[in-house]
Amino acid sequence: MALRFAILGAARIAKAALIDPVSENPDATLVAIGASTRERALEYAMTHTIPNAGAYEEVVARDDVDVVYNALPPAGHFEWSLKALEAGKHVLLEKPATVNEADAHALVEAADKAGKRLIEAFHYRWHPLFNRAMEIVQSGQLGELVSAEAEFSAPIVRRAQEFRWQAVQGGGALADLGCYPVSWLRQLAGEEPEVTAAHQDLEPDGTDRRTTAHFSFPNGLQADVICDMDPVGGRKPPRLELVGTKGRLDIDNPLAPQYGSELILTANGQKTRETFPRRPSYAYQFDGVVDAILTGKPVWTEGTDLIANAVAMAAIRRVATTG
């Protein structure tokens, strides 16, 4: 029987992350959309040919829903993911999973109690490009990891409806953009960092426009995180640079390789370049999540990993505040 999905939040991201890939997966189907109002849900359902629409609570309570994809702004992640888990649904949760580490612990505990999956939607982690990066690091070709820099900066339009510029909605550069570089570095290091320095440029309501942080990992890796919602010079391609005692790895666009990416490995006096399939990272993610739920396979971005990313981001905020 196909897994039956529902979306919470009439969000732009839902088309790429769920609506498109579900149409290509025979083991899944999309049955409902929940939005802040019934009218908004109906409009979204008509646009995307979704058979059922309603308020959040109506969709979460449906007997014909197995998995809830929570595409709400971060401020709505904890409440509605918790309600979905308590209603016996698996949850695919948009990043960042929560606005603080306490909520991350509580959600993982609720998922364990319910016997359901809670998976953070870091789509990059499912793409062959990042799997290849992990393979290179773990092979020892770079030697001992020494330094790294990871950046995701992109101009976010300032408008009233844009939750990324609203602290009350859980917006900000670190939450929306920086969660990716934090995750990239944690995955590749295979360890959890200590935040030794951090700085945030804040708006009047407390939203961080720009955040930078320095990580020190137990294995000696020193790494910098950069994220900016109003970067000088406009949009910058996401990038990741990793230097070891024997080599160097540069990745252009580790975020969404389907829009063009390149992995450059410099080791043993040679430089090699690799390109990867243009199949969307969201499609790889969706297929992986469906398979994991159907088979019981563990995945990277759930449980302790979900908590650890929230802990690292909370530490950045704390260090930026206290120095």
pTM value is: 0.96
Sorted by sequence, the CB contacts under 8 Å of residue 79 that are 6+ apart come out as: none
Q: Which residues of the chain fall below pLDDT 70?
A: none
Helix axes 77-86, 101-114, angle to 10 degrees: 10
Contact in structure between 181 and 150 (CB atoms under 8 Å): yes
pLDDT tens per residue, range 180-211: 999 999 999 999 999 999 999 999 999 999 99
Closest CA to 77 of 107, 110, 105: 107
Residue with tokens 């999973």: 97
Handedness of CA 117, 122, 310, 77 (dihedral sign): negative
pLDDT of residue 100: 97
Residue 266: is it exposed, middle or buried by C-beta count within 10 angstroms (0-12/13-18/19+)?
middle
What is the rounded radius of gyration, in angstroms, for the C-alpha atoms of the chain?
19
pLDDT of residue 284: 98
Q: Classify strands 90-93 and 3-8 as parallel, antiparallel or unpaired.
A: unpaired
| Joined tokens for residue 6 | 């529902």
pLDDT of residue 160: 85
